[in-house]
Amino acid sequence: MTQTLTLRRPDDWHLHLRDGAMLAAVAPHSAGFGRAIIMPNLVPPVVTGAQAAAYRDRILAALPEGAPLQPQMTLYLTDATDPADVVAAFKAGIIRAVKLYPAGATTNSDSGVTDMDRVRPVLEAMAEHGITMCVHGEVTDPAVDIFDREAVFIDTVLDPIRRKVPGLRVVMEHITTSDGVDYARSGGDDLAATITTHHLVINRNAILAGGIRPHYYCLPVAKRESHRLALRQAATSGEGRFFLGTDSAPHPDTAKLQACGCAGCFTAPNTMSILAQAFQDDNALDRLEAFTSLNGAAFYRMAPSDDRITLVRLDTPAPYPATISAGGEDVTVFDPGFPLYWHLEDV
């Protein structure tokens, strides 16, 4: 008998859609999600409400007609962000959240925050108005080992901010460690964490063992297996504080396959197939909907989607493209390293 799985339409609470030819190529692959929080790390970054509104229009124009996706825009927090602009953009319904990148932490983060005390007035205004801060949680101190940067960020930056600005709603984006899981669990209903598809299925061996594999390199970098298992347990637990943010982050292969290659995994085309397999492997298919379609909406104080998607389990592996083409360049699709039997029916 054919196995099918019907879920409320999933949301993606952390997505990079880029701009221009890349946007045109990748947007259709996320079009079947309900809501997606759109990352603002364009070049130059999205820092004003007007820029966010214009970017939203470009995204809508890149989506196939009738696509369900509703882009939820974010502003890129800089040392110069004006609290009044953030509040005005939020009240006007232009933005859903503000993104904190510590300066230099990841792709296109040079304009990020250099000192948390400089943005205290913005954070206080956000706490007052219930505006969520999405946090890239890694320190940038070159003296800190890259595999420790998330844990050190939690202790030295995130926890102090949350104490100084009580009530600030925080999403720890793309957590990669058991430290991140534990800290997310230590908070009240003003704290949550997104988990990516790829961090549920790879550990750092995928990047480094038996040869270097740039398509598995992303930031925060995948950690050791015990951390991956902690993420799997959190994602499949059904706990409301954990939800999907794919962090699908496409780069042309020419930018990935370099002596100094870009960070980012492009998971949009096969995310739901990978997640269904992972949750099935953990006997947690009944909790997939909480992770992909319920928990994030509840945190962002939105209703869950009313419509449904269907995944069908095929007898033979479901094909997906190894690469897509963007502006004449190949972009490699994330390979989870196992066959995908779950196929997402067309929206």
User: Which residue, 290 or 326, is less far from ligand NCD as judged by CB?
Assistant: 326
Q: Out of ligand NCD, Zn ion, none, which partner does residue 267 contact, by CB within 5 to 8 A per kind?
A: none
Least gap, CB of 99 to Zn ion (angstroms): 9
Does residue 197 contact residue 244 with C-beta atoms inside 8 Å?
A: yes
List residues near ligand NCD by CB under 6 A: 16, 41, 106-107, 136, 218-219, 247, 249, 263-264
Q: Out of Zn ion, ligand NCD, none, which partner does residue 106 contact, by CB within 5 to 8 A per kind?
A: ligand NCD
Q: How far is CA 250 from CA 7, 31, 131, 325, 342, in A?
A: 26, 15, 27, 11, 23
Q: Name the 3-class secondary structure at 332.
A: strand
Least gap, CB of 143 to Zn ion (angstroms): 24
User: Which residue, 179 or 247, is less far from ligand NCD as judged by CB?
Assistant: 247
Point out which span in 54-62, 243-251, 293-301, 307-315 binds Zn ion (CB under 5 A): 243-251
Angle between helices 83-91 and 120-129 (to 10 degrees): 30
Q: Out of ligand NCD, Zn ion, none, which partner does residue 246 contact, by CB within 5 to 8 A per kind?
A: none
User: Which residue, 7 or 172, is less far from ligand NCD as judged by CB?
Assistant: 172
Q: Out of Zn ion, ligand NCD, none, which partner does residue 295 contact, by CB within 5 to 8 A per kind?
A: none
* 12 in contact with Zn ion (CB under 5 A): no
Catalytic residues, which ones?
A: 247
Q: Out of ligand NCD, Zn ion, none, which partner does residue 41 contact, by CB within 5 to 8 A per kind?
A: ligand NCD
Token pair in block for residue 213 = 């594999």
The gap between the terminal CA atoms of the chain, to the nearest Å, is 23
Does residue 117 contact residue 165 with C-beta atoms inside 8 Å?
A: no
Cα gap 333→347, rounded to integer Å = 20
User: Which residue, 34 or 252, is less far from ligand NCD as judged by CB?
Assistant: 252
Q: Which of 247, 267, 275, 341 binds Zn ion (CB under 5 A)?
A: 247
Least gap, CB of 59 to ligand NCD (angstroms): 15
Cα gap 224→69, rounded to integer Å = 34
User: Which residue, 10 or 45, is less far from ligand NCD as judged by CB?
Assistant: 45
Ranges within 72-111 binding Zn ion (CB under 5 A): none
- Longest CA pairwise span in the chain (Å): 60
Q: 10 Å Cβ neighbour count for 12?
A: 29
Q: Provide, for the chain, the percentages of residues in helix, strand and coil under a 3-state DSSP scheme, each rounded to the nearest 5.
A: 40, 20, 45
Binding site for Zn ion (CB under 5 A): 247
